[in-house]
Structure 1
Amino acid sequence: MDNNTFATKINRFLEVFITTLFGDIPTLFLGSKLRNIFYKLIFSKLGKSGYIQNGAEFINTSSISIGDGVHIFKHVRLDAKGENNNLDLSDGVALEQGVKIGAMDNTTIQIHENTFLGPNVCIGGPGNITIGKDCLIAANCGIFANNHIFTDIHQKITAQGITREGIVIEDNCWLGCGVIVVDGVTIGEGSVIGAGSVVTRNIPPYSVAVGSPARVIKSRKQKESVLATANISRNQ
């Protein structure tokens, strides 16, 4: 057994031991405070003033970084198992109940400051995923940075591999309930995606997009332009 394999086994043992011992202690019995103390031993980073509710599950915590003031509620699952992964939750991020985030090999998933993920949001690599600051991701959204190759009808789809282009959701975006974002997409800053939409192509900044596939129906800058024109007219 080489040194890396041995270290991995030790880290996994410590992770399972600590999360089993402290993971299900109710908040009423100081569970959150105890987790804030002892989880520092297993995470790559665990900031201050955070809240981890009982029942949250973590895999490969040495590849997970959690900033200050992060809130993680029941039944959240953060899975960073595999090689060369990095799952990073910046300061003020909130993950509601049932959020699932999973990486695979060579995957970076970054969620930036003060972004909120609603109940049962599902985020999956192996393509890299970046979600910007101050975003609102409503319940039951799915963000999936991979596609299965299925061109050869003589092979099983599971044997044909995948593509992984990555997904970027820029700052200050709002995704309504049940939005799906597929691999290779960038959603521009300040955009709003209507509930139930499927985003299959890039969305320009400050757009409002709806439908399956999602299409831009207006720009949020239009209202800004109208207000600016009205203010100029009043001041003349």
Structure 2
Amino acid sequence: MVDQLQLYLKRQASSLPHYIAEQFIQAALGWVPTIIGVGLRGLAYRTIVQMDGLAAIEDGVRIRFAANLRLGKGVYLDHGSYLHACPGGISIGAESLVMKNAILHVYNFRDLPHAGITIGARSLIGEACILRGQGGITIGDDVYLGTLVQLLAVNHVFADTTRPISMQGITAQGITIGHGSWIGSGAIVLDGVTIGRNVVVGAGALVTKDIPDYCVAVGNPARVVRDLQRDPLPERPADLVVF
């Protein structure tokens, strides 16, 4: 029983005092509605989260390993979002938004040197997005992720047919998304992918390879269909649907 409790605590906070502080704030203030609750949580979480100024934290937000979380000025965490910052930490730049039911986590206890999630300024993580940062996820400034986008910076090893896949370990190379890019709703970006600057990824695309700067990529697997520098779109493109 003691071993189980120790394992549970290890997966929830960096120490017992941190666990008690995080749970107390969530229990006491996590449910408080309206702007009053936003203000109270902003002040309370400043005591255990690294904040530049105040962040707006709605009710129902869950934070684990709060000491490893860094929030820039004006960050907004919407209802039901879940941030698990073990072990490499989560950093969210100024004025960025994490919308309802988004999940950001670095949930792995192995020696993964690049684990973590870094989001630049003025970026948007849409509703119900999933970011798994075991291999490291770096998102630039002014990046928009539509709803239900998945960034999966981890993969399973499965070559050994004599053992279950769950026992063969993982690879974790990382994902990078350049400044100003837009990832359409439902897109999935797999581990090891770099997406360039001002890239558009179509809704529902499966991105398995790097995408250069200023390109439009769609499909499963995603392929580049347009270079916006060589072949610019009209000011109001009617034939391109990405959301």
Instruction: Work out which of the residue numbers 46, 52, 57 in structure 1 matches 2:51.
Output: 46
Q: Spell out, residue by residue over 1:134-160, the C-alpha distance to the aligned partner (whole angstroms, 9 max, x if none).
A: 011000000000110000111100000
Instruction: Work out which of the residue numbers 135, 153, 156 in structure 1 matches 2:164.
Output: 156
Q: Spell out, residue by residue over 1:42-88, the C-alpha distance to the aligned partner (whole angstroms, 9 max, x if none).
A: 11x12324311100000010000011011111010000134xx2210
Distance in 2 of aligned mates of 1:129 and 1:15: 25
> Which residue is 1:233 aligned to?
none
Instruction: Work out which of the residue numbers 139, 152, 156 in structure 2 matches 1:144.
Output: 152
- 1:55 corresponds to 2:60: yes
Alignment of 1:159-198 (within 5 A): 159-198=167-206
Distance in 2 of aligned mates of 1:158 and 1:14: 34
Alignment of 1:71-86 (within 5 A): 71-82=76-87, 85-86=88-89
C-alpha spacing 1:225/1:117, structure 2 compared with 1 (3 Å): closer
C-alpha spacing 1:22/1:217, structure 2 compared with 1 (3 Å): same
Distance in 2 of aligned mates of 1:157 and 1:50: 41
CA-CA distance at 1:7 after TM superposition: 7.4
Larger radius of gyration: 1
CA-CA distance at 1:125 after TM superposition: 2.2
Paired letter, 2:18: N
User: Which 5+ residue runs of structure 1 have no aligned equivalent?
Assistant: 228-236
> Which residue is 1:35 aligned to?
41
Paired letter, 1:169: I
CA-CA distance at 1:224 after TM superposition: 4.7
Paired letter, 1:41: T
C-alpha spacing 1:176/1:212, structure 2 compared with 1 (3 Å): same
Distance in 1 of aligned mates of 2:195 and 2:156: 22
CA-CA distance at 1:15 after TM superposition: 1.2
- 1:24 corresponds to 2:31: yes
Identity of aligned residues (%): 32
- Find the residue that maps to 2:230 and give its secondary structure: helix
Q: Spell out, residue by residue over 1:73-121, the C-alpha distance to the aligned partner (whole angstroms, 9 max, x if none).
A: 1010000134xx2210010110110100010344221000000011000
User: Which 5+ residue runs of structure 2 have no aligned equivalent?
Assistant: 1-9, 236-243
Please provide the CA RMSD for this pair: 1.9
The two structures have a TM-score, normalised by structure 2, of 0.86
C-alpha spacing 1:74/1:221, structure 2 compared with 1 (3 Å): same
57-66 or 17-26: which moved more? 17-26
Distance in 2 of aligned mates of 1:159 and 1:92: 41
Q: Spell out, residue by residue over 1:21-40, the C-alpha distance to the aligned partner (whole angstroms, 9 max, x if none).
A: 11111125x10110111111
CA-CA distance at 1:222 after TM superposition: 2.1
58-67 or 6-15: which moved more? 6-15
Distance in 2 of aligned mates of 1:224 and 1:210: 17
> Which residue is 1:101 aligned to?
104
- Find the residue that maps to 2:15 and give its secondary structure: helix
The answer to which structure has the higher helix fraction is 1
C-alpha spacing 1:129/1:226, structure 2 compared with 1 (3 Å): same
- Find the residue that maps to 2:16 and give its secondary structure: helix
> Which residue is 2:238 aligned to?
none
Distance in 1 of aligned mates of 2:96 and 2:78: 11
Distance in 2 of aligned mates of 1:63 and 1:7: 9
- Maintained 8 Å contact 2:142/2:181: yes
